[in-house]
């Protein structure tokens, strides 16, 4: 257990979609992409938030991989690390976290200078930046609203990676501002009760819950019908 | 908590926890085997058969006679285990036991509608069991003459000391079979308990039960094939970040991305 937590902090998130574009898991992310598209009520929904009830359930992994899958589909995607408590996006893409969202929110620098090219066509990244003392206030500010409008002008889709919803209030603020929220749930680890609490928290924040992603789901060999198609 | 008890779900749960159930079963088999071979003292059994017969002048074989004998046998069965006989046995063999403990060692039985009475003696020592069985029979044979003024008891088959005594108790095989059943049931019970205690989300249905949520998709666990490689790459990177100037980081990281992915 201890070992697991330790490794989770230091090891970068796995970009399966990037490393193996034919894998079963990539196909699963593509399925989620399609399902999100089907679930969205209108075409002009541009901001999607990824959150989870508790920590280490796969928000960052899911949002990063989803961003790549969306970029693959020809959209201009911006992936924002809005987890200003424990940012991970710079680890995942192995980049510097010197400039990012926090700098933009205190009105230092411009969006076009701060975003970084991911190396994947169509996908730009916005790191967290220096960890601020008051993330919730920053996210709730007018600067954030302005920034989101600016993002919507420049990109087709903005994906936010956020802190756990039951731990801090940041995600509720973001969920309220975003067009849709996806709840990431870790199979066999997330308590059912916490999922219900998270749903209630999102409902209170007047967020639109698109649905949930079951992470770490061990598909039994019997009903694994993807496998025969792709491998 | 849901009160529905789903058989299919339970079976699936058993299948998943099969190793645990099997281990529990094996553990109990081994445990009961070890206990019955080492800890439990073997008990031996010796038996003497006596024939009770109304002898004398009226020794004609008619049904009435035999019926009377059989009724007599019931009486004798009680007499054999009475303190009158048993204290005689203790005295003769100079045993340390009381009448009560000896009484527990001896079983008297007679086959239905027959005149043969079997005295079974159980003892940790085969030799002593034989001795007690035979002495009981002979003491009874003598005492009955005083008690009932008849001499109608004959020893039919005296207990004999076998060359290789086989203990009747414990029966390791039976114990192990019981151990297997107990172990299996404990394992199954434990797996049900663990399943009930686990309130995490495990299937898509668990989410679908929560109103307002739908499953968009599933993601399988990523198989870690570069386990050893990744952390070290990251550590090198971090060390670099601290020393190298910030303008250079940009170029380093872009080449890194091209290189590693």
Q: ipTM for the complex?
A: 0.74
Tokens 């609490």 appear where? A197
Q: Test B234 with A39 for CB contact under 8 angstroms.
A: no
Cβ-in-10-Å burial (0-12, 13-18, 19+) of A56 comes to: middle
Task: Please list the residues that pair with B121 across neighbouring strands.
Answer: B46, B106
User: CB distance B261–A11 less than 8 Å?
Assistant: no
Question: How far apart are alpha carbons B233 and B216 in whole angstroms?
Answer: 34
Is B234 in contact with A182 (Cβ distance < 8 A)?
no
Tokens linked to B62: 């008619």
If you search the block for the tokens 């079976």, which residue do you land on? B11
User: Cα–Cα distances in Å, from B68 out to B63, B65, B110, B207?
Assistant: 9, 5, 15, 80
Chain A residues with CB under 8 Å of B216 CB are: 32, 35-36, 39, 182, 210-213
The C-alpha angle with vertex A196 and arms to A190 and A201, in degrees rounded to 5, equals: 110
Could you give the CA distance from residue A218 to residue B177 in angstroms, rounded to a whole number? 36
Give the whole-angstrom CA distance, residue B231 versus residue B181. Answer: 48
**How far is residue A139's CA from residue A130's CA, in Å, rounded to a whole number?**
14
Buried (b) or exposed (e) across B172-182, using 16+ Cβ within 10 A?
Answer: beebbeebbeb
Q: What is the mean pLDDT of residues A188-213?
A: 89
Confidence check: pLDDT of A227 > 60: no
Average pLDDT taken over every residue of chain A = 83
pLDDT single digits (tens) A95-108: 888 888 888 888 88
Query: What's the pLDDT score for residue A182?
Result: 92
Residue A9 zone, left/alpha/beta (φ > 0; ψ -120 to 50; rest): alpha
B210 touches chain A (CB under 8 A): yes
CB contact (8 A) between residue A188 and residue B234: no
Q: Which of residues 54-93 of A touch B (CB under 8 A)?
A: 58, 61-62, 65, 91, 93
Gap between the Cα atoms of A203 and A86, Å rounded: 25
Minimal C-alpha gap between A206 and chain B (Å): 13
d(CA B11, CA A205): 41
Two structure tokens written together for B203: 């299937």
pTM of the predicted model over 0.95: no
pLDDT at A95: 86
CB of A42 within 8 Å of any CB in chain B?
A: no
Contacts within 8 Å (CB) and 24+ apart, B93-99: B93/B131, B93/B132, B93/B135, B95/B132
pLDDT tens figures, A113-134: 888 888 888 899 999 888 888 8
Q: pLDDT, tens digit, for every residue of A135-146?
A: 888 889 888 999
The answer to whether A201 faces chain B, any CB pair under 8 Å, is no
**pLDDT score, position A77:** 92
Q: How far is A173 from chain B (nearest CA, A)?
A: 20
The residue-averaged pLDDT of A161-190 equals: 89
Return the higher-pLDDT residue of B64 and A3: B64
Is residue A15 within 8 Å of residue B261, measured between CB atoms?
yes
Residues of B whose CB is below 8 A from A124: none
**Beta strands of chain A (E only): which ranges?**
47-51, 77-81, 116-117, 123-126, 157-161, 180-186, 209-215
Token digits for A50?
Answer: 């990824």
Residue closest to B188 by CA, chosen among B65, B8, B17: B17
At B48 the three-state DSSP class reads: strand
Q: Alpha-carbon torsion B182, B186, B192, B193, what sign?
A: positive
Cα A158 to Cα A60, A155, B72, B166, distances in angstroms: 14, 7, 103, 83
Q: What is the mean pLDDT of residues A32-55?
A: 86
For CA atoms A126, A127, A129, A131, give the dihedral sign. Answer: positive
How far apart are alpha carbons A30 and A72 in whole angstroms? Answer: 10
Q: How far is B104 from chain A (nearest CA, A)?
A: 57
The beta-carbon neighbor of B201 closest among A25, A61, A192 is A192
pLDDT at position B27: 92
Give average pLDDT by consecutive 10-residue segment, chain B, 261 residues: 67 85 91 85 84 61 70 79 83 80 84 79 85 85 78 77 75 87 91 83 81 84 52 42 46 39 33
A:148-177 residues touching chain B, CB 8 A cutoff:
none
């Amino acid at each position: 257990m201890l070992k697991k937590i330790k490794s989770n902090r230091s090891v970068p998130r796995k970009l399966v979609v990037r490393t193996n574009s034919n894998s079963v898991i990539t196909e699963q992310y593509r399925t989620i992409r399609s399902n999100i598209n089907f679930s969205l009520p209108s075409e002009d929904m541009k901001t999607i938030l990824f959150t989870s009830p508790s920590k280490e359930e796969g928000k960052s992994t899911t949002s990063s991989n989803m961003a790549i899958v969306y970029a693959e589909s020809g959209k201009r995607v911006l992936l924002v690390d809005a987890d200003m408590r424990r940012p991970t996006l710079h680890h995942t893409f192995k980049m510097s976290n010197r400039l990012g969202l926090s700098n933009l929110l205190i009105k230092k620098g411009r969006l076009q200078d701060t975003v970084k090219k991911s190396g994947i066509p169509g996908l730009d990244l916005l790191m967290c930046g220096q960890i601020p003392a008051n993330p919730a206030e920053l996210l709730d500010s007018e600067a954030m609203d302005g920034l989101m409008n600016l993002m919507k002008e420049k990109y087709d889709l903005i994906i936010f990676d956020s802190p756990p919803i039951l731990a801090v209030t940041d995600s509720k603020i973001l969920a309220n501002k975003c067009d849709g929220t996806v709840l990431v749930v870790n199979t066999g680890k997330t308590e059912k009760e916490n999922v219900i609490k998270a749903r209630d928290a999102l409902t209170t924040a007047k967020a639109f819950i698109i649905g949930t992603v079951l992470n770490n789901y061990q598909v039994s060999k019997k009903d694994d019908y993807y496998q025969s198609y792709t491998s | 908590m849901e009160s529905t008890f789903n058989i299919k779900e339970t079976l699936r749960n058993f299948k998943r926890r099969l190793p645990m159930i099997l281990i529990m079963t094996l553990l109990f088999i081994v445990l009961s085997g070890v206990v019955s071979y080492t800890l439990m003292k073997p008990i031996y059994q010796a038996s003497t058969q006596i024939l009770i017969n109304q002898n004398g002048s009226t020794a004609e074989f008619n049904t009435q006679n035999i019926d009377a004998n059989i009724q007599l046998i019931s009486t004798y069965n009680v007499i054999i285990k009475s303190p009158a006989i048993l204290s005689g046995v203790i005295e003769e063999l100079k045993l340390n036991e009381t009448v009560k403990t000896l009484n527990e060692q001896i079983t008297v039985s007679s086959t239905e509608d027959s005149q043969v009475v079997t005295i079974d003696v159980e003892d940790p020592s085969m030799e002593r069991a034989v001795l007690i069985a035979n002495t009981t029979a002979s003491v009874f044979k003598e005492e009955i003459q005083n008690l009932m003024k008849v001499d109608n008891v004959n020893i039919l088959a005296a207990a004999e000391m076998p060359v290789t005594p086989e203990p009747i108790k414990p029966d390791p095989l039976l114990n192990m079979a019981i151990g297997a059943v107990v172990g299996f049931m404990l394992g199954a019970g434990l797996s049900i308990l663990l399943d009930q205690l686990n309130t995490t989300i495990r299937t898509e249905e668990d989410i679908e039960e929560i109103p307002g949520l739908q499953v968009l998709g599933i993601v399988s666990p990523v198989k870690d094939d570069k386990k050893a490689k990744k952390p070290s790459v990251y550590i090198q990177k971090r060390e670099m970040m601290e020393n190298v100037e910030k303008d250079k980081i940009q170029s380093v990281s872009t080449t890194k991305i091209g290189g590693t992915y």
